[in-house]
Amino acid sequence: MHALSLNFFSCISLSRPVLKLRIMSEEQNGKPEEWAWPELKLPDLLLTDTVRKLHEAIESEWDSLRQSACQTAAGRALWKHVTHDQLAELLAGETYLRSLYEKIKKDRCRNAREVSGVMLAVRTLWFDSKIEAALSSFDGGGAQVVLLGAGMDARAYRLSCLKETDVFEVDFPEVLQMKTTTLQAATDSINDNQHVRVIAKSLNRVAADIRDNDWLQKLQISGFVPEKNTVWVLEGILYYLSHSHAIEVLKIIADNRALTRTVLLADFMNKSSTTLSSSMFHFHSDWPDCLLPSLGFSEVKLSQIGDPDAHFGLLHDPLNLFNKLRSLPRSVQTHPDDGTPCRRLYFVQASSSPHQTTP
Ligand SMILES: C[S@@+](CC[C@H](N)C(=O)[O-])C[C@H]1O[C@@H](n2cnc3c(N)ncnc32)[C@H](O)[C@@H]1O
């Protein structure tokens, strides 16, 4: 997610594991307690020359769209106690880790109701849980998971529910190449490289720009089988596309329903959210639960951060931003309390199958 949006979309009320990072010291002479923050401890692997050089190249050569892959990984890394993403630090790189770490530190020091990174943690867990549920809803026959705009996502290495599943990661060629090279560097330099082992049945990286009309063809050339049950994961990607490109991608996925059972998992920004960065964010939908049926999807379920299935015990304070937002009707565009825009991120699950009729 873009740096500008990290402030807003990465907030949360504090969770216990982060509290453990605090070291409390009380001085003998009755001075008030002081909180000391430990330094960010980077894994040795990130400090090797090879990995440093790879991340330097990302910082100097990639645009912010591609760099958003590393920012997302930084969020997963600093919320590792809940995301269990052991590769996220390596894939994020030092700069993004430090930057988010400082934000979290600041939030903690001012006792913020929302602490940076929580949105990414909740989003990650929501997608994890829905991928698992979708796979177990398929009745045999092998399944596929396609991650569109996969970035530095490490689910193929992390989720045991993917053991029997073919995974396809689609992103720009340079992003996927850098990911492969970085993971290879890790494999080469550590003895205990169990986290760098693919858990999925297979992992296929497909270099493609999903704005072009040949990405589905490229996916098929890489082994994607349109007739197999498929979970499409569109996490942190749709809003980077123009309206027409996003609709085209969704239509291509919906059209596949003629052949197989399809589950779509995606997050959508509402219009106000895209104003966080008008140069980065384009596509938005205030009512994805109306949009998706018009494209051929059914069984659309929408969640907001803080809802029972998008909570994960991380949003305790009823007055935090997310809980305040979801208590307002979705048609409300500005907070009645302070007149600020209601910036929402919707998590949406939809499905389609060959038995369905087109609307
Ligand atoms: C915010 S990151 C999210 C990455 C990943 N889904 C995750 O959750 O870790 C957005 C990713 O989308 C990719 N992306 C953006 N536009 C794309 C396009 N037109 N075609 C392919 N990938 C794209 C970027 O390169 C980046 O890796």
**Confidence at residue 352, expressed as pLDDT on a 0 to 100 scale:** 80
**Confidence at residue 34, expressed as pLDDT on a 0 to 100 scale:** 54
Ligand 1 centroid distance, CA of 170 (Å): 8
**Confidence at residue 35, expressed as pLDDT on a 0 to 100 scale:** 55
Ligand 1 centroid distance, CA of 45 (Å): 25
Ligand 1 centroid distance, CA of 149 (Å): 3
Nearest atom (ligand 1) to Cα of 73:
9
- Which residue spans of the chain are classified as CATH 3.40.50.150? 118-352
Q: Which tokens in the block code for residue 75?
A: 């969020």
Ligand 1 centroid distance, CA of 148 (Å): 7
Farthest-apart Cα atoms in the chain, separation: 76
Residue nearest to atom 4 of ligand 1 (CA): 151
Residue 6, judged by CB atoms within 10 A of its CB (0-12, 13-18, 19+), counts as buried
Nearest atom (ligand 1) to Cα of 2:
1
Ligand 1 centroid distance, CA of 266 (Å): 13
pLDDT in tens, the chain (359 residues): 443 344 344 433 333 333 333 333 333 444 445 556 788 999 988 999 999 999 999 999 999 999 999 999 999 999 999 999 999 999 999 999 999 999 999 998 888 888 999 999 999 999 999 999 999 999 776 899 999 999 999 999 999 999 999 999 999 999 999 999 999 998 888 766 677 899 999 999 999 999 999 999 999 999 999 999 999 999 999 999 999 999 999 999 999 877 889 999 999 999 999 999 988 999 999 999 999 999 999 999 999 999 999 999 998 888 888 999 999 999 999 999 889 999 999 999 999 877 665 44
Q: Exposure string (b/e) for 118-143, b if CB count within 10 Å is 16 or more?
A: bbbbbbbbbbbebbeebbeebeeeeb
Q: Which tokens in the block code for residue 21?
A: 């990072």
Q: Which tokens in the block code for residue 269?
A: 């920004």
Ligand 1 centroid distance, CA of 58 (Å): 14
Q: Residues with Cβ within 6 A of ligand 1?
A: 1, 65-66, 68-69, 72, 149-153, 171-172, 175, 209-211, 235-237, 240
Q: Is there a contact between 196 and 180 (Cβ–Cβ < 8 Å)?
A: no
State the pTM of this model. Answer: 0.90
**Confidence at residue 355, expressed as pLDDT on a 0 to 100 scale:** 66
The CATH class that applies to domain 118-352 reads: alpha beta
**Confidence at residue 59, expressed as pLDDT on a 0 to 100 scale:** 97
Beta bridge mates, 352: 262
Query: Which residue, among 277, 270, 268, 267, has the nearest Cα to 342 in the 3D structure?
Result: 270
Mutate to test the pocket of ligand 1, among 131, 147, 157, 172 (most ligand atoms within 8 A of CB): 172
Mutate to test the pocket of ligand 1, among 169, 237, 250, 347 (most ligand atoms within 8 A of CB): 237
Residue nearest to atom 9 of ligand 1 (CA): 153
Q: Is there a contact between 280 and 2 (Cβ–Cβ < 8 Å)?
A: yes
**Confidence at residue 207, expressed as pLDDT on a 0 to 100 scale:** 98
